[in-house]
Amino acid sequence: MKTIKGSEELLLGIDIGTQGVKAGIISPDGNLILSTSKAYPTFTPSSGWAEQEPSHWWQATVEAVREICLNNPTEARKISGVGLSGQMHGSVVLDGENRPLRPCILWCDQRTSSQCEEIREILGNERLFSVVSNPALPGFTAPKLLWIREHEPDIFQKISRILLPKDYINFMLTGNAVTDFSDASGTLLFDVKNRRWSNEVIAELGLPENIFPPIIESVHVAGYVSEEASKLTGIPRGIPVAGGAADNAASAVGMGVITPESLAVSIGSSGTVLAPSKVPLADPGMRIHSFCHAVPDTWYLMGVMLSAGLSLRWFLDTLGEPEASNAKQSGEDPYSLLDRTAQKAHPGCGGLIFLPYLSGERTPHGDPHAKGVLFGLDLTKRRSEVIRSIMEGVAFGLKDSLTLMSKLGVSPKLVISGGGGSRSKLWRKILADVFGFPIIACSQSDTAMLGAALLAGVSAGTFDSIEDACEMCVSYTDKIDPDPSNLKTYERNYQIYKELYPALKDLFQKSFENY
């Protein structure tokens, strides 16, 4: 039974993403009333590194929320709850006065391969599988802590608390330091099956137990907006702030993917395939992840590719001058112009195949040294085919995850697409043809922000449950069916795609060693 406490109530969702913060106010029926975004920089002090300043997240959050609240005071006064979503795995290490000791090492940072090997040697793959249900990969939080301990011992000794990115913003809003089950799942220090910190793993890695925050459900109240935060942001003082969720879990809520019947495919900076489960599942080969969902007593399998939308962003930044210039002149979105150019190419791009490993890769290879590749270039290939091959390569990478999940019994009735890439009808069409499934797109593209707001609604009592919130607020647009005439072309290219990584793996390693 759906319940809405009051039509005058509004919900504020905040998503701390990789490229910037998005903030929006939604009504209890899911309509986006107001939204804005603020960007912040990513720093790469060395090859393969990626860092951001937590203070930049907070400054951007304050600016975004303040812009909404102070420019729209009537709506701001109606806010009844705040929810947060954020990029996973980041390491926000604080001193005894709760000040960040160093920049946050991000999810896409690849510096910790030796620390991952150390974790595997200490715990063994069998123990990793049985307890944390995930492989030791550079993106996770635990190897980042070991790296800090090894390379920055003075900083490590000063660590009083570690938080995930959205938890830091939650702390700045409320003064309370907590995390939720979905975000804790991505630390490699968490017992996913039993939904608790693994004190055994923490001890075996020689980490202090007292630096890890309490864990609450995503829909539970983490704290209340403080007087100081209220003055800075314009959010009314004392409004409850939900525990929130990791971006992928929040996005799944915003897409209505909360039961095993549905599957989410998201193309943001990274790309994900997410399948909910009512019981904890794990891949024995640990090629896909097993995490707790934002929904109580629910888990999900997730495959992750590190450079999905980032692959197209790389092309735009590096080789997209025509689209960038035309966009400035016409006022159009440069990605829409890339999309229009890609439509000129035929499916399969004449055998041109893109490996989207620009930041290494997570699923299914777990290889920080993997590189991006354009395979099949010849004098007949045009700009349109290069762009489309990038979109197709991302779809192939996402299919890798779906293939692995199907072996664990995942059999969805509905595939829902989200993330910025879902705005492209061409990309959704490519996904439908590559997957062989109909694809339905969410009406709201900022699904993590929407999911965060829905969690706030449950926390504040606007909705009885996440199920009620999704039923009331999540809607979908057109369905795209796979085109049978394209299936053979994509299956042929996908088979070549799968053979390229094993053929090039040793060369990727040699390239890394040489540079």
Catalytic residues: 247
User: Which residues make beta-bridge pairs with 36?
Assistant: 23
Task: Look up residue 367 and give its DSSP letter.
Answer: B
**DSSP 8-state class, residue 65:** H
What tokens appear for 60 in the block?
């951007």
Beta-strand runs (E) in 28-126: 32-39, 51-52, 79-86, 92-94, 104-105
Q: How far apart are CA 199 and CA 149, in angstroms?
A: 18
Q: What are phi and psi of 418, to 5 degrees?
A: -150, -175
> Which conformational region is residue 223 in: left (phi greater than 0), alpha (psi within -120 to 50 degrees), or beta?
left
- Alpha carbon distance 50, 243 (integer Å): 26
Q: What share of the chain is helix, strand, coil (3-state, %, to 5)?
A: 45, 20, 35
The strand pair at 414-418 and 439-442 is best described as parallel
The residue among 277, 296, 278, 286 whose CA lies nearest residue 130 is: 286
Q: What is the CA radius of gyration of the chain?
A: 22
Provide the token pair at 336: 């829409």
